[in-house]
């Protein structure tokens, strides 16, 4: 076919595609890979070696945060390292990218004071000292680091002084005000105890085929919870709280009030052992209720390989639901909240079951990509094994991402093929977080990939109206982590809970995004702060970022940058 023929064919395909979209009444989405153009230059160093250290395939994550409080969310990417080769390890470097607000990012790592150490895994961000500047916690193999934001674009390593430098293999983390005393505490999931000096050989020696070991080969580790003492220091209260009594291969963490008792509960996605749901039973006392709640295992009573996780009310019934990514041929797990501490395994009824069978899922996020007022869900995928075809024919290391559109009635529709070129990229996906990088009112995505470049995917799909809410706590923690927002627009009420840590080794933009669909205004916005205070705003015009200060209501409104 000549060039003009190609153009004709492309045009024809485009016409047919648009026509199909219209026939089915679905808006085509468009996530565009802008990574290079935006200046987000980062290639994850996984240190992959013939020794097949498990850490090489687990990381790493990344997050959205506004470290300089300029109203434009920035990017932090965790780099891995190498357990086999010090020279490779030296190439690893975490990156902090400042959002210039013009569609590009500047690498400000050098000036930030953030230094790479050990083998990086994940990160979470929260203003633990309530000074109005978001701080950063980075997990890794053997060393975690707390960076205090000093306010001039730089961070200071305060790990030792804050007493939060756990020395295990840490993965997911989350800040939350677990005791509702107004400052953020810290939960850190630990994975397994893998001694690099005695790395087991998993595979077939005769065929000279080595695989990354199954995590169950190693000793599981308990998670760690740090109570913020309020003076820049933390206390490890894992033992007395009951958190340390359970060992698991923890990866994803999401803290939210699942039973609606106004106290945060902690969900940990465990790899190949039952997930845990720590429910508060008293001051700094927790018990695991995951099995009874129906979120520990799938319907067959068997544990899945839990990787990433997120919590949100996807069906609009006012109860939080959970999603957990799993291995291929396990299906990803969707747990629909029934009220109280009970969930039902909703994977088959949701439409994500069969569609997720071929994928090894990691990052996941509930987000309303098309601003229709219904929470959709996306997944970043990539195999654990770098040679999976030797294990299962047809399996691939790099996999495409998945986007499921919420079509109501508790069902999702796989719209990946119409999600734009950003979703067509096949990579070894790990982290996936959402945030509005260009303040235009729709949610963009950041994807981290093992051993590869990260993907910054700008949402260019046509979308309805929206409202983004930024919280400033006064009596509660400064970022309003744990606050519950109920927004009513067009007769529909949507629920959000502010979280600082979710998905896989990452964290979303903490500003809360609400799609309004055709509605141009929200009838009501209610913010229930962790302190118990409730602020209500009526008749809010959409298509703006509004700031709600605890006790003062809406204090700022900025129209979307269109």
Q: Site residues (CB under 8 A) for another protein?
A: 200-206, 213-214, 216-217, 273-274, 291-292, 294, 297, 299-303, 328-329, 331, 338, 342, 344-346, 348-351, 353-354, 357-358, 389, 392-394
User: CB burial class (10 A; 0-12, 13-18, 19+) of residue 515?
Assistant: buried
Question: Taking the complex as a whole, how short is the minimal distance between the CB of residue 84 and another protein, in angstroms?
Answer: 17
* Nearer residue to another protein within complex by CB, 392 or 557: 392
Tokens 């009526």 sit on residue: 538
Q: Report how far residue 272's alpha carbon sits from residue 265's, in angstroms, rounded to the nearest whole number.
A: 22
Measure the CA angle with vertex 467, ends 461 and 469; round to 5°: 125
Measure the CA angle with vertex 310, ends 461 and 340; round to 5°: 125
95-99 sheet: strands from edge to edge: 62-65, 74-77, 95-99, 105-107
Tokens 């700094």 sit on residue: 284
* Nearer residue to another protein within complex by CB, 81 or 294: 294
* Nearer residue to another protein within complex by CB, 303 or 469: 303
* Nearer residue to another protein within complex by CB, 124 or 290: 290
* Nearer residue to another protein within complex by CB, 1 or 393: 393
Contacts 24+ apart (CB under 8 A), 26-29: 26/405, 26/413, 26/415, 26/418, 27/370, 27/461, 27/462, 27/463, 28/418, 28/420, 28/461, 28/462, 29/369, 29/370, 29/403, 29/405, 29/415, 29/418, 29/419, 29/420, 29/459, 29/461
Alpha carbon distances (Å) from 504 to 56, 124, 189, 362, 473: 15, 11, 11, 6, 26
* Nearer residue to another protein within complex by CB, 66 or 321: 321
Q: Report how far residue 108's alpha carbon sits from residue 84's, in angstroms, rounded to the nearest whole number.
A: 29
* Nearer residue to another protein within complex by CB, 211 or 560: 211
* Nearer residue to another protein within complex by CB, 87 or 205: 205
Question: Taking the complex as a whole, how short is the minimal distance between the CB of residue 123 and another protein, in angstroms?
Answer: 30
* Nearer residue to another protein within complex by CB, 342 or 561: 342
DSSP at 210:
E
Nearest Cα neighbor of 135 from 118, 151, 122 is 151
Question: Taking the complex as a whole, how short is the minimal distance between the CB of residue 383 and another protein, in angstroms?
Answer: 14
Q: Yes or no: say if 548 and 472 are a contact pair by the CB < 8 Å rule.
A: yes
Question: Taking the complex as a whole, how short is the minimal distance between the CB of residue 404 and another protein, in angstroms?
Answer: 13
Question: Taking the complex as a whole, how short is the minimal distance between the CB of residue 486 and another protein, in angstroms?
Answer: 25
Question: Taking the complex as a whole, how short is the minimal distance between the CB of residue 206 and another protein, in angstroms?
Answer: 6
Question: Taking the complex as a whole, how short is the minimal distance between the CB of residue 200 and another protein, in angstroms?
Answer: 5
Q: Yes or no: say if 528 and 203 are a contact pair by the CB < 8 Å rule.
A: no
* Nearer residue to another protein within complex by CB, 298 or 307: 298
* Nearer residue to another protein within complex by CB, 288 or 436: 288
Q: Yes or no: say if 307 and 379 are a contact pair by the CB < 8 Å rule.
A: no
**Distance of alpha carbon 298 from the chain centroid:** 22
Q: Report how far residue 344's alpha carbon sits from residue 334's, in angstroms, rounded to the nearest whole number.
A: 8
Question: Taking the complex as a whole, how short is the minimal distance between the CB of residue 354 and another protein, in angstroms?
Answer: 4
Question: Taking the complex as a whole, how short is the minimal distance between the CB of residue 348 and another protein, in angstroms?
Answer: 5
SS3 for 255-281, per residue? EECCCCCCCCEEEEEEECCCCEEEEEE
């Amino acid at each position: 076919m000549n060039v003009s023929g190609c153009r004709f064919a492309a045009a024809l395909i485009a016409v047919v595609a648009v026509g199909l979209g219209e026939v089915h009444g679905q808006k085509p989405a468009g996530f565009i890979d802008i990574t290079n153009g935006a200046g987000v230059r980062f290639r994850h160093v996984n240190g992959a070696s013939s020794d097949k250290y498990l850490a090489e395939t687990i990381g790493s994550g990344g997050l959205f945060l506004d470290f300089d409080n300029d109203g434009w969310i920035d990017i932090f990417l965790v780099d891995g390292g190498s357990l086999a080769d010090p020279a490779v390890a030296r190439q690893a470097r975490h990156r902090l990218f400042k959002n210039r607000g013009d569609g590009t990012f500047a690498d400000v790592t050098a000036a930030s004071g953030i230094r790479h150490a050990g083998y990086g895994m994940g990160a979470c961000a929260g203003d633990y000292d309530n000074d109005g500047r978001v701080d950063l916690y980075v997990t890794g193999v053997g060393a975690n680091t707390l960076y205090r934001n000093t306010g001039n674009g730089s961070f200071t390593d305060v790990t030792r002084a804050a007493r939060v430098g756990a020395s295990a293999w840490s993965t997911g983390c989350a800040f939350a005000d677990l005791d509702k005393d107004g400052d953020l505490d810290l939960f850190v999931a630990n994975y397994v105890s893998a001694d690099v000096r005695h790395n087991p050989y998993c595979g077939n020696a005769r065929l000279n085929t080595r695989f990354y070991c199954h995590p169950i080969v190693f000793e599981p580790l308990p998670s760690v919870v740090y109570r913020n003492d309020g003076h820049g220091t933390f206390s490890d209260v894992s033992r007395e709280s009951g958190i340390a009594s359970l060992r698991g291969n923890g990866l994803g963490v999401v803290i939210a009030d699942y039973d609606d008792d106004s106290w945060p509960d902690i969900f940990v996605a465990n790899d190949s052992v039952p997930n845990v749901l720590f429910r508060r039973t008293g001051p700094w006392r927790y018990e695991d209720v995951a099995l009874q709640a129906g979120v520990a295992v799938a319907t067959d009573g068997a544990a899945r390989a839990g990787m990433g996780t997120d919590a949100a009310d996807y069906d609009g019934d006012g109860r939080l639901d959970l999603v957990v990514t799993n291995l291929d041929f396990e299906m990803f797990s969707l747990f629909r909240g029934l009220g109280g501490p009970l969930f039902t395994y909703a994977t088959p009824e949701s439409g994500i079951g069969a569609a997720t069978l071929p994928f090894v899922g990691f990052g996941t996020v509930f987000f309303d990509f098309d601003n229709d007022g219904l929470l959709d869900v996306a997944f970043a995928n990539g195999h654990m094994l770098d040679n999976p075809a030797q294990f299962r024919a047809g399996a691939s290391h790099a996999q495409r991402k998945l986007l499921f559109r919420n079509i109501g009635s508790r069902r999702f529709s796989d719209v990946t093929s119409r999600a734009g070129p950003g979703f067509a990229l096949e990579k070894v996906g790990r982290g996936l977080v959402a945030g509005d990088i260009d303040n235009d009112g729709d949610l963009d995505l950041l994807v981290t990939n093992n051993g590869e470049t990260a993907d910054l995917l700008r949402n260019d799909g046509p979308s309805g109206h929206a409202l983004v809410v930024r919280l400033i706590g006064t009596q509660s923690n400064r970022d309003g982590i744990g606050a519950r927002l109920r927004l009513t627009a067009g007769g529909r009420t949507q629920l959000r809970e502010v979280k600082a840590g979710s998905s896989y080794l990452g964290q979303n933009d903490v500003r809360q995004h609400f799609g309004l669909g055709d509605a141009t205004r929200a009838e009501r916005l209610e913010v229930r702060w962790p302190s118990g205070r409730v602020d209500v705003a009526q008749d809010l015009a959409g298509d703006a970022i509004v700031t709600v200060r605890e006790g003062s209501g809406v204090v700022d409104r900025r129209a979307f940058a269109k």
